[in-house]
Structure 1
Amino acid sequence: MAAPIVFVVPTSNMLVRPSEIVDVSGRCQHTYLQHWGINPQEESNIVALCRILQDVFGHNPPVYTKPTSQPSPAPQLLHQPHTNGGQNILKSPVLHAYHPQSPTPPPLPPPPPYQSVATNKPASRPRSLSQAAPAPPPNPRYMIPSQNHMYQQKPPSQQHSNSLPRFLSGEDSSQLHISSILDEPSPAFIPQPAPLPTTQNPELVKLQSAVYDKVKESCNEFFEISTPEIHRIMGCGEQLNKSKVHINQEREHLLNLENKIKEKTEFLKNKVAEIDKLIEKVTNMPEVSVDDVLCGTTIVYNQLFELVAEDNAIEDTIYYLGKALSTERVDLNTYMKNIRTLAREQFMRRALIQKIRRQTGFDKLGYR
């Protein structure tokens, strides 16, 4: 994975301060970015990079405020305590602003305010101050005396005036240290500069106006073209919304029909299964003769059944012989012979039928 590209983007009233890890364009070149993804055991991520840059920029800010043409009134505020006396030192905003800070500011080289003080004062006054002021101790802790020590000592006015340069030297050193970090005076002394009036390029204004007119014209044309289509689509949407209820009703009706069809189908399947079982059962049954089915319960009844059948057959034969004689298909001699034979047999069978009926009791029941 490639390392990210980090840039410092200053605001409109600030500039980039080049350093070891930040170039003039604002691009950051930290060793963490150079070793990005090289060690597989240590995962490189944006959070760790932001923490490292936050720590580095906390000690060395990458931006500073643009210099302004207004004179800085900070030296005047620092030199006013010398002209007004030692009583105004505690009332100055510099002392009140930086006195509550940590009593251990970092050591700095001798600041130039001593020279400015010497130039603004008479010759006798700076000489006495330089003679009375002792050399500052090597430990910067004692450069700024604490407030308790100032109240415990009760020196005369001359000693207080002699100790004034030492007190101002600590405050000046802390003030110079803060100004060296951001290269800007404290907002307590310098008001915010008024923004410079900007003049617009006439050609740029003309181009912007032309682009605005062109975009506006294109938007109007697009609106005119798309308005009918939008109305048509909205009408289709309304029709679809109205048809939604009808579609839902039809869907419910079709679902009900589907349920009924499923029920009827199940019923028909059950009946078809029953019919198949009956067909299989009938198929497996043995064949039965008609004579075996149409018979009486006793031998006499079977004999009576056969005699009645023969009597009817003889009667039919006599009928068809008479019909053949009338159509002259049969001559008279042949007809008479056959009729005589059939009449004798019919008489014998009818006599036997009468006898069986008397024995079985069918005459009493009224059967013929």
Structure 2
Amino acid sequence: MIAYDRFLTENLSKYKFAPRVREDVINALANYKELRPKMENFTFNDGTSQDLVCLEGTIPVDYHKSTYNIPIAIFLYETHPHTPPMVYVRPTSTMQIKASDFVDNNGLVHLPYISDWKHPGSDLIGLLAVLQVVFGERSPVFAKFPVHTETIPKPTPPVYVPYPQGAGFYAQPPILTSTDPGSLPGYIPPVPGVGWQIPTIPNMGGMQMPQLPNYSSPFPDPSGMPSLPTMSVAGQTMSYFPTPSSDNQRGSLTEDHLRLSLRSAVMDKIRRVQNELICQHGDELKAIQQAQSDLECGGQKLKSMFARMDVEQSEATQALDSLNKKNAELSDLVKRLNATENEPLNVDEAVDTTYPLYRQLVSSFAEEQAIEDAIFYLVTALGKGVLDVDVFLKAIRELSRKQFMLRATVQQCREKAGLPLW
């Protein structure tokens, strides 16, 4: 770790946020021991190149209950950690990139964690953990089949022509694993009841191979049947011939391998179709969910409007009933007025109150105002010499006492009736 610290000190001078880059890289190297930092020249799509810090190595991935080391390279921009890093899968000579939704043919990794990168919520440890999970679900590489010049490869998958099943015929073609003549079947003994032998073919680089002989049997002439697949070894051509089933387990894929391969291919196909359907119907689903949310909000508004309308309808019904009563009262009053139109009008009966308190208030107020008028006329008469002073004072004293009592009565009535006081 000291060597890594020295390396970062020497090479982070161009990085704008060097302390944060150092901390992020040190934490990643401490958790993933197989990663190594180095400076590497990176060429961008526009042709420009730049020396960037690269974390190269392998990360452990659990795939199908087994642990594999996936080689990767992480390039850090000079504005790291505010700019998301670039992640590449770097297969070895025995590996080949397996393109998918997250890895392109060049090995560049595309993940939502990278596209949604935001400091400080995103860092290299989180990125590496996401890579382990994603690569554990779908491996970004697969192993190449080794090619040996000394080994005769088996066609994948071979197509066999059906032949009569009888003594002397076997289920699978021979599997050649070595050029050592002792390891190749140079001769197959005759099978009882058939009466033929397989002679050896000419020497091909020290190897002996069986050839199809002429024989007589109760089966149809093999010359009329399609020829078996042929392959070339060391410049010569040889035909596939059946060998005992015990050799089928050497250098060939078993049924379990084929079943796992088929299952993996089907799962990949299902995932691709599922992702296509999700992308295709994702926007429609969001639109439907938004419409559903709007409809629910609209339903709540409609319910509140209906409740308010019910209240207003009830109030309107009550107001209508009250209006009908008032109209009935007015109609009766109009009828009575029409009936008494030709009769002389009694002012005291025409002006009346609804309650005795109001009647007392009106009566006291009217009497008090009358006394006020009487005092006014007495003062006028005194000024004109109609009354002498003694008579005037006696009348004024009596009227003022009565006026005072009436005003007190008016005040009490107004107070009881809740009317403003003078």
Q: TM-score, normalised by structure 1?
A: 0.23
The structure that is strand-richer by fraction is 2
> Which is bigger in relative contact order (C-alpha 8 A, separation at least 6)?
1
**TM-score normalised by structure 2 residue count:** 0.21
